[in-house]
Every structure is written in C-alpha cells, then in structure tokens.
Amino acid sequence: MTNTGTEAAEQGWDGPWYRVRADRFQASFLPSAGEPLDAVCNIDVEVRLTADGSRWSATVFTLAEVERLMEKGSRTGEDLEGRCFWCSDGLIVRDPGIDNITQVLTGLLDCGDFAQVLHRLDDE
C-alpha cells in the first residue's frame, strides 16, 4: 500500500480488492478488471470502522452512471422503462473515482450521517 498524503493513510491492491486505510476506517472496493480508479462510477464498497470494528456496505454510483442506467432502462424496458432507479444500499455521488468516494465516506463520518446512509452488515 502507498501513502496518499490525504485522509487516506494508505491505499493499494490486495488481490482483487483495492483497499483504502484511513484513521477511522478501512474501505475495500472491488473495481472491474482494468477499470481506471479515477473513473470508477459504479462500485461496491465495504467499510470497517476502526473504533468498533463494525462493517458497513454501499453500492456507490455517480449521477452520470444513474442517468446512463436509466437511459438503458428506457431502451430495454427495465426499471419501469427507465422511469426509476433504486438500489437497497445505494449511495449517489457527484464525481467518479476511489479518492472522491473515500472523501465522501470521510464526510459522512464527519457530519454524523454515515450510519443512516450505509448498510450495517451483521457479524457472524
């Protein structure tokens, strides 16, 4: 893992996962093979909070990706012919990229909305 000089203390590849470690959490992303990390616009993330070890998940989309998916639905008839979009653990961000998503996660922790936005995973 490499040091980024931002809130994220370390980030790098761990098998198929791209992991970002910050003071308060570790975020594990699963990008598609060959996908540029600064262009990620639709990705699953699992976040483990440092304070209590709790695990959280979200599927993160950019606004542009939601628009693309809705346009596709209008052509294929999916999602009420593209009239709606939903995802049970969806988080929509304005800008693409792992760094941007990490900044959003940090912001959600800062403002206290993290637990309302992400889905808590049950530990076995």
- pLDDT per residue as tens digits for the range 72-111: 999 999 999 999 999 889 999 999 999 999 999 999 999 9
Token digits of residue 111: 């403002």
Token digits of residue 38: 């600064």
| Secondary element (H or E) of residue 33 | none
The per-residue pLDDT for 21 is 96
Residue of 6 and 36 predicted with greater confidence: 36
The 10s digit of each residue's pLDDT in 42-75 is 999 999 999 999 999 999 999 999 999 999 999 9
Strand ranges inside the chain, DSSP E = 8-14, 17-22, 25-29, 42-49, 55-62, 90-93, 119-121
Task: Assign 9 a pLDDT band (cuts: 50, 70, 90).
Answer: confident
pLDDT at residue 5 above 90? no
